Amino acid sequence: MTDRKTELAARLDRVEERIAAACAAAGRPRSDVTLIVVTKTFPASDVRLLAELGVRHVAENRDQEAAPKAAECSDIPLTWHFVGQLQTNKVRSVVGYADMVHSVDRERLVGALSAAAVRAGRGLGCLVQVALDAEPGEAGGRGEGVGDRGGVAPDGVPALAGALAGAEGLTCAGVMTVAPLAGPYAGRPRAAFERLTEISSRLRADHPTATMVSAGMSADLEDAVSAGATHVRVGSAVLGVRPRLG
Ligand SMILES: *Cc1c(COP(=O)(O)O)cnc(C)c1O
């Protein structure tokens, strides 16, 4: 193995052990949780090595970077997840390679994704991104120090899910969140993820397809697994410290 492959294999093993231990502690079967490796800022060659090591799900957060990377890896059987803030003018490109979009946070995006999916003849799984730092009726990520994480406030989830369910080419596949840096859940990822699981349960009553709970990153994947996440999105714990964003 190359040095890089050996390094990735070792890191992947450690993450796998963490997920397995968290599942065991929560009394959940390991098969309940899918690892998505977030490959943003790392090259297509790493995606290829990860696939050789058994990774089947990868995620990206910027279309400019993801589109060429996915094209370079189009011969590999991978499920591509888009997890970043999505502008409507990037939707057509994203629909060209993504199987799942985790970051649906406004109705305008639903219309654009649906039109692009129909046009491409593809089905797209969509998750409602929930901002647990947003006030009712507001979008997330507008507050000071919060950055541009996006998401819709919890009270906006049913309407957005309804729009997804009614949109041709799209499936309402679940909910996603990023542990908030501000608001009542700041520094309390476990409580935030438990809130997401509650939101998910209520959503599934109306939308049985919405089975995915996407939560947890390198620093807090155990909290996510214990709260009921079905998908964890892990970047740096597998790939190492990210190069600075250009
Ligand atoms: C970068 C990113 C991750 C992974 O973060 P790490 O801390 O590197 O594990 C997960 N989710 C989203 C939305 C991201 O942008």
Position 29 scores a pLDDT of 98
Nearest CA to 41 among 83, 5, 69, 71? 69
Cβ-based neighbours of 7, under 8 Å, separated by 6 or more: 240
CB burial of residue 17 (10 Å; 0-12, 13-18, 19+) = exposed
Residue 158 lies in a domain: yes
User: What DSSP string runs through 24-79?
Assistant: HHHT--GGG-EEEEE-TTS-HHHHHHHHHTT--EEEES-HHHHHHHHHHTTTS--E
Shared domain for 124 and 72, answered yes or no, is: no
pLDDT at 147: 45
Low-confidence stretches of the chain (pLDDT < 70) are 135-148, 245-246
The CATH number given to whatever domain includes residue 173 is: 3.20.20.10
Ligand 1 pocket, residue 126 CB under 6 Å: no
Top mutation candidate among 38, 50, 238 for ligand 1, by most atoms within 8 Å of CB: 38
Angle between helices 189-206 and 157-165 (to 10 degrees): 50
pLDDT, residue 246, reads 53
Among 233, 238, 244, name the best residue to mutate to test ligand 1's pocket (greatest count of ligand atoms within 8 A of Cβ): 233
pTM: 0.95
Ligand 1 neighbour 103 (Cβ under 6 A): no
- The CA 83 to ligand 1 mean position distance, Å, reads 8
Which residue's CA is minimally distant from atom 7 of ligand 1? Answer: 218
Q: How many domains does the chain have?
A: 2
What's the pLDDT tens digit per position in 129-167?
A: 999 997 666 666 544 433 457 899 999 999 999 999 999
CA distance 170 to 30: 28
- Is the shortest distance between the CB of 69 and ligand 1 below 6 Å? no
Report whether residue 40 contacts ligand 1, using a CB cutoff of 6 Å: yes
Residues 47 and 107 in one domain: no
Please tell me whether residues 189 and 117 are part of one structural domain. Answer: yes
Residue 140 has what pLDDT?
A: 60
Residue 91 covered by a domain:
no
112: tokens are 């654009």
Ligand 1 pocket mutation pick from 14, 61, 231, 241 by most atoms within 8 angstroms of CB: 61
Output the pLDDT for position 244: 72
20 and 122, same domain (yes or no): no
Structural domain including 14 reads 1-82
Inside any domain, residue 229: no
pLDDT number for residue 142: 45
